């Protein structure tokens, strides 16, 4: 007997019962209740605190949680009774520019406050009797001071960091600021004089350890015990470095936020990248770049990244190699955002986003469970209450929002969560696609297609009026400068098409495995794995000459010149998908299936073609249109297709047919090497004619000659066509038996089954895979019967 999965509500009921009978202490019950996902899903606006006159850059609770402190661009600091929505105290910070952080020192009766700001100053405010406030300068940075950190449990010790790379230790008892060190770049980043620092955090479980991060890819861990207090030196060298494998050596990334959990885990938020959670054993050690790095033929990246190959210490354990937990969905590009844990035992991760939302993930598996509308612009700060499930948030707007689990209904994720954008209405001109040297007769490359890598959204590909699919990395663009980044990080093109001035690309698609599907005009479709790129310079300065023109039948392609170190996979060439015709319109191409198992495309002959991705085998040819089929769009979750073309309707395809379809008996003629396309002469064929059918094979010749021959042949064979309507579909499947057809409509034939003996059983495997992939959605079909994928009646499509 299968047991019903226990929900969070069930667990809460059991916990209440255990508390009532004494099996669960009140303290443990409170912790379990506070960590309940149900409470997270019921978070809603509790209230707004609106007294500042500028962006609110910092919010923090005091140790007891009854006071919230905030700092703003108006240079004021406000202490709030957040539950009542009242101002307890408001004073000028003494800073000359925007206040970036303000915190209340513990065990001081909430009278001692430290702040840092864009003027580089670190200041201390002491609240005296009757609300009088005295402020003094503690330390100074050259450049902005973004963050400070308070030693856990100490009313006296503060650490600060700034854009000058300097880390300072301040003792409020003496007012002395000790310059511990200036953060230096590693050897690979020697072009930086210092690492500008954006974030600092102290390990609550071991306050001797603290981490800093900023304008490079590393979060550095230091041990204060290494500092020699009696000598005028800095200890400089970190005890550990943290960085995801694929970001090592990336000169474009930086870090905006750090946070330690109660379990000594380190949370790192990268600018215009993801958030990563490192356990303490995932560090790279004190020397992340060994003196003699190990060379490698691979760049250790996803397709198109120019990261350097990582060289791990010899004693690195498996957990470190496994990589950190990743939290995705937000966007962190415009401001220096913090990141934080949420829940009594840091069960959740929270962050703001450029899109004005708050994102909440489960820490253990990175699952995104909440997206909350919080601001009309950027959300910078998310501060959890120290004891209860309450959040405070602030950003570009001048108010502070408080969130408590008071909603009557549990929230769900937006249905279009993948489509969240910044809603700024700003269009940024990234670049104009330029031709390579061999195509210098073109002023620009006219573009027909663009696609984004779903596995790494920083990467996107464009293609058009030449033979190359270009891959770009958005992180190369300098958003604050009036420049374009222009140069692709990789090029993709089959060997035999390089230098062919007649080809172009009409469609692009990425699979979930970062494979790139490229549909060429009047040519085939090719599937490239991420290691098949030609690199950022597809035409070497000194091309290798060859006695062969490296072309297929009739093509005047130039011989390709590959870099000397190109690996075997790239030379092996991409997977090829043949049989369709793509000449008349700009057609798309797509993947199909829950794991992109199939490739689908329309064709000039009005058919839909479906191939197996793994080997390029053509397994379906479906009559879809009287003219050209341009668009094929798969459903995101089920085995459903939508198609459209020159006709004015949209056709929907589901696996509901009663008969399984097979390929036409003479389909092998379509797959002859060269530019040969499936294009039968005339309209419908005579059902009584079982002889070999005549076909016109278009091989790239004059389209006018083709049209004349086609019209003449159509007149000769008109009396053999099926039906009396002269406007019937130009080309259709052959060798069709009447009793195998589905539906009686002569207007549009969706998918007709073809009477061909199945010798190898591959069609049955394809059918079985569809049944498995759809996870039982075929509730009206007997799985013991053979079924056709598609239909033929107009009335049955919807």
The reply to whether 77 and 189 lie within a common domain is yes
Decide: pTM greater than 0.75.
Answer: no
Please report whether residue 664 resides in a domain: no
Q: Each residue of 623-653: b (16+ CB within 10 Å) or e? A: bbbbbbbbebebeeeebbbebbbebeeebeb
Q: Which residues contact 23 (CB under 8 A, 6 or more apart)?
A: none
Residues in the chain with pLDDT < 70?
A: 1-20, 24-35, 188-191, 230-236, 289-322, 415-427, 437-441, 478-486, 539-572, 665-798
The reply to whether 18 and 70 lie within a common domain is no
Rounded CA gap, 706 and 479, in Å? 51
**How many CB atoms within 10 Å of residue 243?**
27
Domain that holds residue 283: 43-289+301-419
Each residue's pLDDT tens digit, 574-592: 888 888 887 777 777 888 8
The reply to whether 267 and 381 lie within a common domain is yes
Rounded CA gap, 589 and 600, in Å? 6
Please report whether residue 763 resides in a domain: no
The reply to whether 9 and 65 lie within a common domain is no
pLDDT given for residue 415 in this prediction:
63
pLDDT given for residue 221 in this prediction:
96
Indicate the DSSP class of residue 695: B
Rounded CA gap, 551 and 535, in Å? 22
The reply to whether 105 and 170 lie within a common domain is yes
Indicate the DSSP class of residue 145: -
Q: Which residues contact 56 (CB under 8 A, 6 or more apart)?
A: 70, 71, 72, 381, 394, 395, 397, 398, 399, 400
Please report whether residue 750 resides in a domain: no
Which of residues 419, 448, 467 is at a domain's end? Answer: 419
Which of residues 653, 680, 711 is at a domain's end? Answer: 653
Rounded CA gap, 405 and 243, in Å? 35
Rounded CA gap, 603 and 580, in Å? 5
Please report whether residue 724 resides in a domain: no
Please report whether residue 91 resides in a domain: yes
Please report whether residue 768 resides in a domain: no
* Beta carbons of 591 and 599 less than 8 angstroms apart: yes
The reply to whether 463 and 564 lie within a common domain is yes
The reply to whether 397 and 318 lie within a common domain is yes
* Beta carbons of 302 and 456 less than 8 angstroms apart: yes
The reply to whether 380 and 520 lie within a common domain is no
Element (H, E) at 12: helix 8-21
The domain that holds 188 is classified in CATH as 2.130.10.10
Rounded CA gap, 474 and 460, in Å? 8
Please report whether residue 377 resides in a domain: yes
Give the total number of structural domains in the chain: 3
The reply to whether 353 and 485 lie within a common domain is no
pLDDT given for residue 33 in this prediction:
63
**How many CB atoms within 10 Å of residue 521?**
19
The reply to whether 348 and 276 lie within a common domain is yes
Rounded CA gap, 365 and 351, in Å? 16
pLDDT given for residue 690 in this prediction:
39
The reply to whether 103 and 235 lie within a common domain is yes
Please report whether residue 96 resides in a domain: yes
The reply to whether 1 and 52 lie within a common domain is no
Which of residues 419, 449, 472 is at a domain's end? Answer: 419
Q: Which residues contact 547 (CB under 8 A, 6 or more apart)?
A: none
């Amino acid at each position: 007997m299968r047991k019903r999965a226990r929900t969070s509500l069930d667990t809460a009921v059991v916990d209440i019962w255990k508390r009532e009978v004494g099996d669960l202490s009140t303290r443990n019950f409170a912790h379990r209740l506070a960590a309940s996902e149900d409470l997270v899903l019921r978070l809603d606006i509790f209230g707004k605190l609106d007294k500042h006159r500028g962006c609110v850059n910092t919010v923090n609770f005091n140790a007891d949680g009854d006071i919230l402190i905030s700092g703003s661009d108006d240079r004021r600091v406000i202490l709030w009774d957040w539950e009542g929505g009242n101002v307890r105290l408001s004073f000028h910070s003494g800073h000359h520019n925007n206040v970036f952080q303000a915190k209340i020192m513990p065990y001081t009766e909430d009278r001692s406050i430290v702040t840092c700001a864009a003027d580089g100053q670190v200041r201390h405010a002491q609240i005296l009797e009757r609300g009088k406030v005295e402020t003094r300068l503690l330390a100074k940075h050259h450049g902005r001071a973004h963050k400070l950190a308070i030693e856990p449990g100490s009313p006296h010790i503060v650490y600060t960091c700034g854009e000058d790379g300097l880390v300072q230790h301040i003792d409020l008892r003496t007012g002395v600021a000790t310059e511990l060190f200036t953060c230096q770049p590693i050897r690979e980043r020697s072009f930086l004089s210092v690492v500008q620092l954006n974030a600092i955090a102290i390990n609550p479980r071991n306050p001797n350890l603290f981490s800093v991060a900023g304008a490079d890819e590393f979060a550095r861990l230091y041990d204060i015990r290494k500092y020699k207090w009696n000598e005028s030196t800095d200890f400089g060298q970190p005890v550990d470095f943290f960085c995801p494998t694929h970001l090592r050596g990336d000169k474009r990334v930086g870090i905006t936020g750090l946070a330690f959990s109660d379990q000594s885990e380190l949370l790192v938020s990268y600018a215009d990248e993801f958030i990563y959670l490192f356990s303490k054993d995932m560090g790279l050690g004190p020397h992340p770049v060994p003196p003699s790095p190990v060379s490698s033929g691979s760049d250790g990246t996803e397709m198109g990244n120019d990261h350097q190959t990582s060289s791990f210490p010899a004693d690195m354990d498996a957990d470190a190699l496994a990589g950190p937990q990743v939290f995705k969905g937000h966007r962190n590009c415009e401001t220096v955002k913090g990141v934080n844990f949420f829940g009594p035992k840091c069960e959740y991760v929270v962050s703001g986003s450029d899109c004005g939302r708050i994102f909440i993930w489960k820490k253990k598996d990175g699952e995104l469970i909440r997206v909350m509308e919080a601001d009309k612009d950027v959300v910078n700060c998310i501060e959890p209450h120290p004891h209860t499930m309450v959040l405070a948030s602030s950003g570009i707007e001048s108010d502070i929002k408080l969130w408590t689990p008071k909603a009557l209904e549990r929230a769900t994720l937006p249905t279009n969560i993948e489509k969240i954008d910044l809603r700024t209405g700003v269009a940024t001109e990234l670049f104009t696609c330029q031709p390579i040297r061999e195509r210098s007769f073109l002023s620009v490359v006219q573009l027909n297609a663009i696609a984004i890598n779903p596995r790494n959204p920083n990467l996107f590909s464009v293609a058009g009026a030449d033979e190359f699919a270009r891959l770009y990395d958005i992180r190369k663009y300098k958003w604050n400068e009036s420049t374009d980044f222009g140069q692709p990080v990789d090029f993709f093109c089959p060997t035999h098409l390089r230098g062919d001035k007649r080809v172009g690309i009409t469609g692009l698609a990425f699979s979930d495995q970062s494979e790139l599907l490229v549909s060429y005009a009047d040519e085939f479709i090719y599937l490239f794995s991420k290691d098949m790129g030609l690199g950022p310079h597809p035409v070497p300065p000194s091309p290798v000459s060859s006695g062969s023109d490296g072309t297929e039948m009739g093509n005047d392609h130039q011989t390709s010149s590959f870099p000397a170190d190109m690996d075997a996979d790239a030379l092996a060439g991409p997977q090829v998908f043949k049989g369709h015709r793509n000449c008349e319109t700009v057609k798309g191409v797509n993947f199909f299936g829950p794991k992109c198992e199939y490739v689908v495309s329309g064709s000039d002959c009005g058919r839909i073609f479906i191939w197996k991705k793994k080997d390029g085998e053509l397994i379906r040819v479906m009559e879809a249109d009287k003219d050209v089929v341009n668009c094929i769009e798969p459903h995101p979750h089920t085995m459903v297709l939508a198609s459209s073309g020159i006709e004015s309707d949209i056709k929907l395809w589901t696996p509901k047919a009663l008969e399984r379809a097979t390929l036409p008996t003479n389909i092998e003629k379509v797959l002859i090497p060269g530019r040969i396309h499936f294009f039968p002469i005339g309209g419908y064929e005579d059902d009584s004619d079982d002889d070999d059918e005549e076909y016109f094979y278009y091989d790239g010749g004059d389209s006018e000659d083709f049209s004349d021959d086609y019209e003449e042949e159509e007149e000769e064979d008109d009396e053999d066509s099926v039906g009396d309507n002269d406007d019937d579909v130009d080309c259709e499947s052959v060798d069709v038996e009447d009793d195998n057809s589905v539906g009686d409509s002569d207007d549009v034939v969706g998918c007709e089954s073809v009477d061909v003996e199945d010798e190898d059983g591959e069609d049955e495997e394809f059918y079985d895979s569809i049944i498995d992939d759809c996870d039982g959605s075929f509730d009206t079909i007997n799985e013991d019967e053979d079924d056709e994928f598609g239909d033929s009646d107009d009335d049955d499509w919807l």
